[in-house]
Chain A
Amino acid sequence: ETGVTQSPTHLIKTRGQQVTLRCSSQSGHNTVSWYQQALGQGPQFIFQYYREEENGRGNFPPRFSGLQFPNYSSELNVNALELDDSALYLCASSPRQVALPEAFFGQGTRLTVV
Chain B
Amino acid sequence: AQSVSQHNHHVILSEAASLELGCNYSYGGTVNLFWYVQYPGQHLQLLLKYFSGDPLVKGIKGFEAEFIKSKFSFNLRKPSVQWSDTAEYFCAVNARNNAGNMLTFGGGTRLMVKP
Contacts and interface: CB of A to CB of B under 8 A. Distances in A.
A25 B104 CA distance: 20
Given A99-B51, A102-B49, A45 B43 contact: no
Nearest to B106: A42
Interface string A83-114: 00000001011101111111111111000000
Residue of A42, A106, A107 contacting most chain B CB atoms (<10 Å): A42
B67 interface: no
Interface in A3-17: 4
B101 A102 contact: yes
Nearest to B1: A59
Interface string A29-73: 001010100001111110010100001101000000000000000
Given A31-B99, A43-B103, A96-B99, A101 B94 contact: yes
A79 interface: no
Nearest to A49: B100
A25 B92 CA distance: 21
A55 B103 CA distance: 14
A42 B51 contact: no
A2 interface: yes
Given A43-B90, A99-B51, A2 B43 contact: yes
Interface of A: 2, 4, 31, 33, 35, 40-45, 48, 50, 55-56, 58, 90, 92-94, 96-108
26 contacts: A2-B43, A31-B100, A33-B100, A35-B103, A40-B107, A40-B108, A41-B107, A42-B90, A42-B106, A42-B108, A43-B44, A43-B90, A43-B103, A55-B100, A92-B103, A94-B101, A96-B100, A97-B99, A98-B96, A98-B98, A98-B99, A101-B101, A102-B34, A103-B101, A103-B103, A105-B36
Interface of B: 4, 6, 32, 34, 36, 42-46, 49, 51, 90, 92, 94, 96-108
